[in-house]
Amino acid sequence: MSDKKASQDLRKHALEALERRCAAAKVELLQQQKISSTEKSKKEVKGKSSLNDPTSVVSRNQYNSSITLPSEGKPPNKDVNESDPIYFTLSAAVNEKLMASSMDVSKNRGRVVDKICHELKNSGYMKRSKELKVDASILLDNFVPKRAGMIGSRMRDLRSISKRSKRHMSMKQHKKCGTFDLPSDCHKYEIFWPMHDMWKSYMKQRLHNVGPDALARNLLIADLHGAMIRVVECKIPAFTGTSGVMIRETAETFGIVTKDDKFRVVPKKSSVFIFQWDCWKVTLLGDKLSSRIPSLPSSN
């Protein structure tokens, strides 16, 4: 038992000694760090004070003045480093060569610039393998492309024309050209009345030998140019009750010449029309008539 206690006491003493050594080492490290930080701060303060000190500025000015070239009419200031090879004067032969080369460069400089400008004018300035020479003016690196607003309206119209519009004009182009404008001297019911007789003969041929099952379909898809049409309902109240010969049909309208020699363009949308052939009275809903135009027979 006594031996165990003695060994434990020895261990405790050893641990305490190690702890004291570690604490002393930490204290020494802290002191060294403090000393080094104070030395750095002193050096920084000295550097700043030397910059702000007028005596140091004077000494620097004196040093700069010592290496300046001597001015005309004043003797050069003697310095301790006057015997340095840097301050040796050049030989006359070297001076002559330098002067000759500088004179040649100054003479040929204008010729080289003129030659480069001449080549640029003749061949154009190449940028990304594309010649940027427009109207005899060379466009360099500051090339600015034209905006869409700078291009003329004619060019925009030509670019916007599709392949289909080469064969078929748009409604906008029709309105500009006045395709749908009927002259006032043609607003006469008598002119288009023979057209109604032609329509009757057309319907007689179309519905000849047609069974009762296909009769309604043939009446709805028949060509109505020349038919007597009456407007039963319309979103424009002034057109309600209008009747006459239908002379023009578009995807959205019916063109009707009335008995009092007036031309009316009635919209199909939200309208109801009635036409009569023989003993048949057919009602047409304008909202369903927009698909009629593609189904009409082609006139070849």
What percent of the chain stands above pLDDT 70? 57
What's the average model confidence in pLDDT over 196-204? Answer: 92
Q: Is residue 300 part of a domain?
A: no
Q: Which domain holds residue 57?
A: 2-66
pTM > 0.75: yes or no: no
Q: How far is CA 263 from CA 145, 177, 242, 243, 248, in A?
A: 51, 19, 10, 11, 10
Whether 171 is in a domain gets the answer: no
Same domain for 277 and 193: yes
Q: Is residue 75 part of a domain?
A: no
- Whether the per-residue pLDDT at 190 is higher than 80: the answer is yes
Is the residue at 262 inside a domain?
Answer: yes
- 205 with 285, same domain: the answer is yes
* Residue 59 counted as domain residue: yes
Q: How confident is the model at residue 129 (pLDDT cuts 50, 70, 90)?
A: very low
Q: Are residues 195 and 122 in the same domain?
A: no
Q: Cα separation of 167 and 164, whole Å? A: 6
Together in a domain, 40 and 113: no
State residue 273's pLDDT score: 94
pLDDT, position 272:
94
Q: Name the pLDDT band for 184 (thresholds 50, 70, 90).
A: confident
Select from 82, 111, 144 the last residue of a domain.
Answer: 144
219: CATH: 2.30.30.210
pLDDT top residue among 280 and 91: 280
Say yes or no: 56 and 101 in one domain: no
Choose the weakest-confidence range: 80-89, 227-236, 270-279.
Answer: 80-89
Q: Tell me: the pLDDT tens digits for 37-75?
A: 888 777 776 666 655 554 544 444 444 444 444 444 555
Same domain, 59 and 128: no
Most confident of 68-77, 92-101, 141-150, 274-283: 274-283
Overall number of domains in the chain: 3
| pLDDT over threshold 90, residue 199 | yes
Residue 128 has pLDDT above 50, yes or no: no
Q: Is residue 130 part of a domain?
A: yes
In this structure, is residue 274 part of a structural domain? Answer: yes
